[in-house]
Structure formats: structure tokens, C-alpha cells
Amino acid sequence: MRTRAYQHSLSSSTVPSGEPLLEVDAVSLRFGGVQALRSVSFTVNSGRIHSIIGPNGAGKSSLLNCISGLYRPQEGEVRLHSRSAEDTGGGADRTHRLNSLPPYRIARLGVARSFQNIELFSQLTVLENLMLGRHVHMRHSVLASALWFGPGRRQEIAHRELVEEVIDLLQLQAHRKQPVGSLAYGIQKRVELGRALCLQPALLLLDEPMAGMNAEEKEDMARYILDVHELAGVSIVLIEHDMNVVMDISSHVSVLDFGKLIADGHPDEVKADPRVIEAYLGAEDSEVAQP
């Protein structure tokens, strides 16, 4: 049960809903002889769940890595948009060229991500892992926080308030003090989602958040992703293999095949696209995707 009125905005995007937030523009990426991405272009609009699908090895994780700065594309540009406070009425936006920035600068701009494999500190509690998710926003030293005086103390209290809101949104109250390593897999994935959310993202990148889950855990996770989107207003780029989940919760779907974008649009258009059916869904699986 959710118990609190939320005081903090968990989304830091200043771009009005429906306007371009992220542009992937003619991005190409090679690893030696392997062409992972071939001039991929699409736009993620603010306030959307934008899914990227495609067969194994299609380039989905590589694309996410180009957005978060782990990989540098050889060609093309990735642009993130924001508005300054006085511009939110519709003025000129600010454009950040992510492909020329290191990962920590991209994180500071509000691009948060979760990984395919759980990347949490298993000995630390849920609360401690989530507090670590606040690190990019911490201005005072760990020493000042640890000694619990002055600005360090005030900072800790403010961060703790936000973390408690994330705990409430993702219904992690019962696990707050438990070491992450002792929790069921589905709950650990939820903590990972929480840690990315603690960054107050402008854009949340989720790399197969439901991988390895049973049907019930998947349904729960889909619900939490929808809550993050609908209640907290966070824009999401989602990589997911489960077609039913993707078609149910996405506002927009981009399809990759052998590093090439072969379809891009509303889920209904995409699942009816013959190139998608041929390349990805296959004749028999396409029945699954029908409404």
C-alpha cells in the first residue's frame, strides 16, 4: 500500500510531454568487423514509454550504451533536450550532445539506466543501495554526512526523504533494512529500478528489466514501470523481449534487426508491419502479438 503524499518530483525532465526529449541521429557503431548499429535514427518524446525490440544481437544494448555514454558511436549523434526554467513556456531548448560526453556527465544530465544483470551491492541494505543512487546529487562529502553535522546532515535528510518516496512508490517498505542479496530476484530487480529512479531521471533507460522473471513477477514489474511512468511522470526507454508486455505498456516501439532500424511507430502499426513479423516475430509468434 502506498502511504505518502509525494513531495519530490522523481522526473527531472523540463521538456513538455509529447515534445522531443532524445534524438538518436544516424548512429553507427562497429566492433572490429561487427557492425552493431547501422545509421540508426529515431526520436523519443517526453512523457512516453518508448520500447526497443529486436532479435538477439540486433544491437539493442549497444544502442542503450551509446545513449548512456558507455560506447562511443563512430558516426552520428545522440542529443538530449532540456529547457531552462524561463523557457518551459515554449522557448528555445538546450541541446546536449551526449556522444561527446563521459558517462558521469550524462548521468548528471539525468539519464539513468538499469542493466541486464543486477548491479547492486548485495551486502548492503535496500535503503543503503537506494541512498547510493543519490550520489550524483550529493554536494557534501561522505565524511560530513557520516559525521552527521551541518550541511552534511541537512543534505542527508533531504536525500532520505526522496529515497523514502521511491521506497513507497515501489512498495519496498518491508525490505528497507534487508540486505539486497537476501531478497528474491524479482524484488532485487525492483530495487534496481528504484536506484535508477533515485537519480531523479530526465530519462530512464531500462535494459530487460523483466529478464529471468516468472509470469507473476513480470506482471508486477510491468505494473511498477507503469506507475513510474504514470504517477512519477518519468520518460522511459525500455528494452524487453516479452512482446505482450511491450505491446501492452509502450506508447512507441522501435524495431532493430542486424543493427538496422526496420520499423518505428505506435505498437499497433509496428506489430502489423510485415518486416517486423518476418524479421522478429516469425509467422507463429505473430499470433501472440495480435490484439
The footprint of ligand ATP (CB under 6 A) covers 31, 34, 36, 54, 56-62
The residue among 53 and 166 lying less far from ligand ATP, judged by its C-beta, is: 53
The residue among 151 and 212 lying less far from ligand ATP, judged by its C-beta, is: 212
CB of 241 to ligand ATP, least distance (A): 7
Whether the CB-CB separation of 6 and 194 falls below 8 Å is answered with no
Residue 253 burial (CB < 10 Å; 0-12/13-18/19+)?
buried
The residue among 36 and 172 lying less far from ligand ATP, judged by its C-beta, is: 36
Q: Can you name the residues that pair with 254 across neighbouring β-strands?
A: 52, 264
CB of 289 to ligand ATP, least distance (A): 17
CB of 186 to ligand ATP, least distance (A): 20
Tallying the residues shown for the chain, one arrives at 291
Query: 89: alpha, beta or left, given left = phi > 0 and alpha = psi -120 to 50?
Result: alpha
Whether the CB-CB separation of 239 and 60 falls below 8 Å is answered with yes
CB of 285 to ligand ATP, least distance (A): 15
For residue 155, which of 134, 127, 176 has the smallest C-alpha distance?
Answer: 134
CB of 207 to ligand ATP, least distance (A): 8
According to DSSP, residue 278 is labeled I
The residue among 115 and 187 lying less far from ligand ATP, judged by its C-beta, is: 115
The residue among 61 and 250 lying less far from ligand ATP, judged by its C-beta, is: 61
Q: Can you name the residues that pair with 238 across neighbouring β-strands?
A: 51, 206
